[in-house]
Structure 1
Amino acid sequence: MRTAIVVGAGIGGVTAAVALQSCGWEVMVLERAPALGEVGAGISIWPGAVTVLNELGVKGIDKSGALSGPAGLRKARGSWVVAATDLGVELPVMIHRAQLHELITAEFGPAVTVRTGYKVATVSQDDDGVLVNGSLRADLLVAADGLRSVVRGALHPQYAGPQYSGYTAYRGIADIPATGGGETWGPAQRFGIAQLIDGRTYWYATANQPAGQGGDLATVIRRYGNWHDPIPELLANTRTTLQNDIYDLPLPLVPFAIGRIALLGDAAHAMTPNLGRGACTAIEDAGALARHLSGTPDPVAALAQYDAERRPIATKLVKRSRQIGRVGQLDNPAAIWLRDLLLWAGGGVTRGAAALRRKR
């Protein structure tokens, strides 16, 4: 049986393990954390990623948590800029990151082994395979070791690496359901609401600030506690919050494959969270990787095909997400007024076009 090493056991890494298992590979997952699991809050799963997970046999991803109520873009006082229905936006499945991780790892079979507490320091390859830390050998290596990937650094030492976006993010889970959802944009700040499939509400917020400044739940309440309902109630029913400065990878992205080593997820294309597609893109990477390995006997050729398919797609997402973040974090009043006007007008055009289609 062909063997693979997956470095990193986040969403992308464990999906890659299940995908490789499904096409006949024996997989060893290496995770530096002392235990297998995920931390974080909510995560959006868009249709393409749902399809991959369904094909891999992952159970429990459904639409049972769809929003009941209006969704779209609002101002801090609650007035609507544009409704999701006006833009024809399809809402994703929203699920807690830890729950999704459990659903994926539940599909691990005997072909998948996991080593936790294992730090990868060196990787090398030759014509016959790859070597990790001078002792672990396999036919293939998939690097899913995140934004500050050790493997990417080894393959591309001249690459600049992560760059700060200029804003930080706060995330939390409120132990109550919310009616409606979407995002609220204020000067240099945003707040988003989404219903999880378990009935709780995931919220997130962004704010312009220098990297490393930090913040906690009290900071979030101070900044957003006087925004429109149900934001104050959600914050009052939140016990803890996570804060992370937002980074992405500079363009052009490095090749996703060199020889028998492939980059996947944030290791390949870390993007800002403005599209909500970071983890989805990693899941789709895993599906494409397995598809090419199944269809091409030579793993080097298969990885080259994987890179040719996935890098252009990821490049567009990184660029688009970065642009949306810049627009959403505007702090100039005139620029904000123009932005909101254009979004409102765009929603009206889309709504009118939809009405015409219905009449036909």
Structure 2
Amino acid sequence: MKRYNWATLGCGVIANQLAEAMISRGDNLYSVANRTHEKALEFAAKYGIEKVYDKIDDVFEDENVDIIYISTPHNTHIEYLRKALKAGKHVLCEKSITLNSNELDEAIALAEENHVILAEAMTIFHMPIYKELNKIIESGKLGDLKLIQMNFGSYKEYDMTNRFFNRNLAGGAMLDIGVYALSFVRWFMSSKPTEILSQVRYAPTGVDEQASILLKNKEEEMATVILSLHAKQPKRGTIAFDKGYVEIFEYPRGEEAVITYTEDGSKEVIKSGNTSNALLYEVEDMEKALNGNHDIMHLNYTKDVMDMMTEIRNEWGMKYPEEI
């Protein structure tokens, strides 16, 4: 497989994990761009990256860059997506890929116009356990899907200046953790949900601190989603079929699932992949997409999830400054 030059736009937690993933396969990031040049220099020194841009926009003009990984705050994504895609760069962008459906539609159109790959860095679409479960489900041994139950609760201190609760940084449960839960739902549902009901509890800053969501699609498969940024709960997904149910814990980067069969209560443990390799799986799938396997990035699922999140927030009447 051809070697591709990866650039990271951002130097946060995910960028560090990306750099480590590249090193784990005997490779390295080609370059680093960041709004704060000093942080970019420190990041490059830490991981032995040779190229650091004086200005963040220089990454888009570098003819040697093949793929840009964007891991800046949500509300900056569309600005960088426009520049990267217009420059003919392939892009893997952290979730949530944009703030809303209009921004994503614009990015998709730019990717098509410039003949490049655009994808969201959603671990669920790339962890081997999900691909393995799909094979089992497609075999028919579990029967038809009936219900999905999703939990994702984090406990974040009430610091209203951090990104979790800050409207100016597109904070809130939906874009930060809801995107995982809804991506999980979309992965297993036969089609995009067409009926959506929800409730919301706001943080003092006006972003969504807590939410409950009910979903149903045309096949009458149903799902429930409970989210919170200020109440810890297990990251658990349960997928119930005619003949059994599947449980996955720590599902954003899951590596193990337990199937319980309805008829006799017997259990089967399915293991595949490794949590610590989550970013590596994304990198490898992105490179496969560049080599012709475009569907492997599941941009259609990303679009469906963004449509759901946008519809829900519109129903709440919750908008970020960039959307007003």
TM-score (norm 2): 0.34
Which has more radius of gyration? Answer: 1
Q: Which has the higher contact order (CA 8 A, sep 6+)?
A: 1
